Amino acid sequence: MFEPLFDALDDIHESDSPRVTGVAPATVVDNLDLTGAGRVQIRYAWLPGVEPWARVCATVAGDGSGVWFMPQPDDEVLVAFRNGDVREPYVLGGLWTMTSRPPAALPTDSITKRMIRTPVGHEIAIDDLVQKLTLTHTLGHSIEIAADGITLSVAGGAAKISLSASGAVSITGTRSVEVTGLDVSVKAGNGLTANATRADVRAAATCSIQGALVKIN
């Protein structure tokens, strides 16, 4: 794949406008484009001293809209050239290597999983095998959408909200659980139970307790 590059090296140093056909690997040097054009600066290992700014191909790119995933410094990318000019490259996509590995852990993940993971570890994972979608914060907080329900949990299990596909709802916290609103209504179709070591029921105005049979202590 790289024969045209080596064939063109002699001409590159003799020309003000070096030309290379095909595509080539490059390494990202910088992605802080002060022009705001969404470019990255790249380096060619096979052409020292040439470090142009490259436009980045995106799935969608519009005026103030699109898909924004920029290559990071030291990432390896695949580039093509405008009219073969190595000083006017386009980044076609990223390349994994034996030392810069994919985010997937298992060989079978290429069949059953789709993932987006940031360099610091924030992750969106879709697993077709277990029918689950997971959004995970790098600290361990997560939202999990599975066939049997939805779970929102804090790292370490300090708090959790579970919505079961059967209709059951569970809210768990190792500290306080607070519900606040202009009007708060709690209604049970069958039974309502409240248990605590200490309980206070207060009203700034009227406090009403009604029932066919009311037992106190």
211 vs 167, residue with greater confidence:
167
pLDDT band at 33 (very low <50, low <70, confident <90, very high): very high
Query: What is the dotted CATH code of the domain comprising 109-173?
Result: 2.20.220
pLDDT band at 8 (very low <50, low <70, confident <90, very high): low
Question: Start-end ranges of CATH 2.20.220 in the chain?
Answer: 109-173
Is the CB of residue 93 less than 8 Å from the CB of residue 73?
A: no
Question: Start-end ranges of CATH 2.40.50.230 in the chain?
Answer: 3-95
pLDDT average, residue stretch 78-98: 96
Whether the per-residue pLDDT at 153 is higher than 60: the answer is yes
DSSP 10: H
pLDDT average, residue stretch 154-179: 94
pLDDT of residue 170: 95
pLDDT of residue 54: 98
Q: Any residues with CB less than 8 A from the CB of 51 and at least 6 apart, and which?
A: 29, 41, 42, 43, 44
pLDDT of residue 209: 87
Architecture of domain 3-95: Beta Barrel (2.40)
Question: Does pTM surpass 0.95?
Answer: no
Q: Any residues with CB less than 8 A from the CB of 172 and at least 6 apart, and which?
A: 159, 160, 161, 162
